[in-house]
Structure 1
Amino acid sequence: MNILVTGAAGFIASHLCEDLASKGFNVYGIDNFNDYYDVKLKRLNAADLLTKGVKIFEVDLNSDLAEVFKVKYDYIYHLAAQPGISTTTSLEEYVTNNIYATQNLLDFVLKYNADLKMFVNIATSSVYGLEATVDETVPPQPVSFYGATKLAAEQLALALQRTNKLKVCSIRLYSVYGPRERPEKLYTLLVENLFNNKPFPLFEGSDKHERSFTYVGDIVEGLSSIIGKEELINGEIINLGTDEVNTTGQGIELVQKIMNKQLLIDHKPPRKGDQQRTAAVIDKARKLLDYSPKTSFEEGLKEQVKWFKEKFID
């Protein structure tokens, strides 16, 4: 069975590729290795994937993908995106990399591989708005370029399902953390600054933000469980996260405890577009995917600290 994963050298996608390869699937990845963050980290991830037999196409999703589709795929997991809440990323970049790239990929799927078993679109809890504490039936109210463009991408994919052109589901992820997390994300940045005794930028009020911090291994288990359930989840939108809620401040305290170090804080003004509270409602994932996140917050953070130390300190 052939599976294509977009954004393969990135955080979540690289873990998904490894997991699928370990299950005996033929895994192919797409990544353009852009410089949104240090390309060296993506190259490290890609090197790990190559040792697991994953083939990676180094290509931009907004380009000609005919070479990629010389292979017939059974499943496509679409994780590539312009990520996060960033004051330095323009609306044009979000539109290009989240909307146009998704539509270009879908066009090539329809042309070369419309008979695939499932197109799995990876969305985000950011589509819900300032408080992501609801189930999948509640209308989205995004407040950021990221959330708005990821919602548009989700709807482009689901439109093809509604018109019977493609089997599609969309998975909305919640605050994923763990080994390989992007360098500007909370816990990688926190661990790096603690190791190097550098001030950590803390946006005003963000220490009180509540999050469904979800370990990447649990997310990957949920995503891989889709295989074989395509008839059950075709057309569905599913939240994937943990229903355990912690504050950012609690996470900071845990990492300090794990590393036995005190953090230096660089206080910053509030950041526009930040969610105030997320609490994943995962009843649907439990029912349809038999999903059950198992990794405790402290256990997951220990794994992230261990990874960072192995890759960048020792």
Structure 2
Amino acid sequence: MNIVVTGATSFVGTGAVKELLRRGHHVFAVLREHSAKADLLLENHKIPENLTIIEEDLGNLGNLVNRIGEPCSVFLHMGWRGAGSNSRKDAGVQEESVKDSLNAVRTAAALGCTRFLFTGSQAEYGIHNTLMDENIPCRPGSPYGEAKLKVRHEAEKLCRELSLDYGHACIFSTYGPGDHPWSLISTCIGTFLKGGHMELSDCTQKWNFLYIEDAGRALAALAEYEGRLLDHGCVYNLGGPMEETGPLRNFVEQIYELCGRRGSFEYGLRPPNAEGVVNLIPDIRKMERVAGWRPEIRFEQGIRNILRKL
């Protein structure tokens, strides 16, 4: 299939593109002009034969119709302005991303796509203390979560009007090689390996981690699904193994052990983030039931994979 991917050099985007290429699809990867991350998509310093890189601003996605010049099957939209922690609080920036996303739907229809996939976020759900399935009430606590939820509602409506299938992948917490250096896992590994000290919050909230390769396989499974995703409801949770969900401090302590018990850490020294104490308890059984996907990489193996690549 010909598959258009925006946000192709983001952490999750890179994982998805690599998996789609591995499965033999032709990917049109849309990057910002002069992107410094284009090398992330290369294999042995070369562009794969089934990859076409297109530089285009998220505000001008309509230009892709002429630039691609051939029919496509799936449009995977992961491009988002203001995904960083500070920008997530900027309602104006988030609204621009909503407009970009809806324009991406129209572009997908013009390209002849039959399916539009969007990467949403657990931030849409807000704070919950119970198992979070796709039908749990949404109470986003940030402009970022509100914007992602707005796309869910408006993109589904627009897709139905344009006769497009719609899948909304609600992604929980991802990790793996290439993760952001400021993430909790990256910071813990970097600090412990240097023998440093980690000052942490209480870390008592429930958490779950999804390995990047499993995330890529999940998005590829949604792209390849032979039926209509909308027939099962448009939202699909993507999370790690459900049996591994537990207090965040359990994951910190696993990392500490795998780093050879170097360095030190202390709980209760940092306040919760601006949204409060958030639990991540994803129910991913719908993805298994509908798309035949389940995560394969357990947390210990994922951390070992990261350590081997350092």
**TM-score above 0.5, yes or no:** yes
Query: Equivalent residue for 2:303?
Result: 301
The Cα of 1:19 is off from its aligned counterpart by 1.1
Contact 1:175 1:212 in 2 (8 A): yes
Contact 2:105 2:159 in 1 (8 A): no
CA distance in structure 1 between the partners assigned to 2:69 and 2:284 by the alignment: 37
Q: Aligned with 1:72: secondary structure?
A: coil
CA distance in structure 1 between the partners assigned to 2:237 and 2:53 by the alignment: 28
Question: Relative to 1, partners in 2 of residues 1:50 and 1:264: Cα closer, same or farther, differing over 3 Å?
Answer: farther
Q: Does 1:211 align with 2:211?
A: no
Query: Equivalent residue for 1:108?
Result: 107
Q: Aligned with 1:80: secondary structure?
A: coil
Q: Aligned with 1:77: secondary structure?
A: strand
Contact 1:3 1:26 in 2 (8 A): yes
Query: Equivalent residue for 1:45?
Result: 40
Letter matched to residue 184 of structure 1: W
The Cα of 1:231 is off from its aligned counterpart by 2.5
Letter matched to residue 46 of structure 1: L
Query: Equivalent residue for 1:312?
Result: none
CA distance in structure 2 between the partners assigned to 1:85 and 1:109 by the alignment: 29
Contact 1:33 1:58 in 2 (8 A): yes
Letter matched to residue 226 of structure 1: L
Question: Relative to 1, partners in 2 of residues 1:84 and 1:154: Cα closer, same or farther, differing over 3 Å?
Answer: farther
Q: Aligned with 2:86: secondary structure?
A: coil
Q: Aligned with 1:4: secondary structure?
A: strand
Offset from partner CA, 1:140-188 (integer Å, 9 cap, x none):
1111122111111222211123335322111111111111112222212
Alignment of 1:30-179 (within 5 A): 30-32=30-32, 42-48=37-43, 50-53=46-49, 54-67=51-64, 68-81=67-80, 82-83=82-83, 85-86=85-86, 90-96=90-96, 98-110=97-109, 112-113=110-111, 115-131=112-128, 133-179=131-177
Moved over 4 A (4+): 196-201
Q: Aligned with 1:73: secondary structure?
A: coil
Question: Relative to 1, partners in 2 of residues 1:93 and 1:249: Cα closer, same or farther, differing over 3 Å?
Answer: same
Contact 2:119 2:169 in 1 (8 A): yes
Q: Aligned with 1:300: secondary structure?
A: helix
CA distance in structure 1 between the partners assigned to 2:279 and 2:89 by the alignment: 23
Contact 2:238 2:284 in 1 (8 A): yes
The Cα of 1:274 is off from its aligned counterpart by 4.7
CA distance in structure 2 between the partners assigned to 1:247 and 1:213 by the alignment: 11
* Unaligned stretches of 5+ residues in structure 2: none
Contact 1:129 1:275 in 2 (8 A): no
CA distance in structure 1 between the partners assigned to 2:140 and 2:72 by the alignment: 32
Question: Relative to 1, partners in 2 of residues 1:102 and 1:263: Cα closer, same or farther, differing over 3 Å?
Answer: farther
Question: Relative to 1, partners in 2 of residues 1:32 and 1:246: Cα closer, same or farther, differing over 3 Å?
Answer: farther
The Cα of 1:287 is off from its aligned counterpart by 0.8
CA distance in structure 2 between the partners assigned to 1:258 and 1:71 by the alignment: 49
Query: Equivalent residue for 1:27?
Result: 27
Q: Which moved more, 1:283-292 or 1:56-65?
A: 56-65
Offset from partner CA, 1:231-259 (integer Å, 9 cap, x none):
23135211121313033222221222122
Offset from partner CA, 1:207-253 (integer Å, 9 cap, x none):
11211211112222222112442523135211121313033222221
Q: Which moved more, 1:218-227 or 1:121-130?
A: 218-227
CA distance in structure 1 between the partners assigned to 2:275 and 2:72 by the alignment: 37
CA distance in structure 2 between the partners assigned to 1:142 and 1:33 by the alignment: 32
Question: Relative to 1, partners in 2 of residues 1:231 and 1:290: Cα closer, same or farther, differing over 3 Å?
Answer: same
CA distance in structure 2 between the partners assigned to 1:171 and 1:154 by the alignment: 10
Contact 1:30 1:56 in 2 (8 A): yes
State the identity as a percent: 20
CA distance in structure 1 between the partners assigned to 2:46 and 2:275 by the alignment: 37
Alignment of 1:11-26 (within 5 A): 11-26=11-26
Contact 1:241 1:280 in 2 (8 A): yes
The Cα of 1:43 is off from its aligned counterpart by 4.3
Q: Aligned with 2:228: secondary structure?
A: helix
Aligned mate of 1:271, from 273, 277, 281: 273
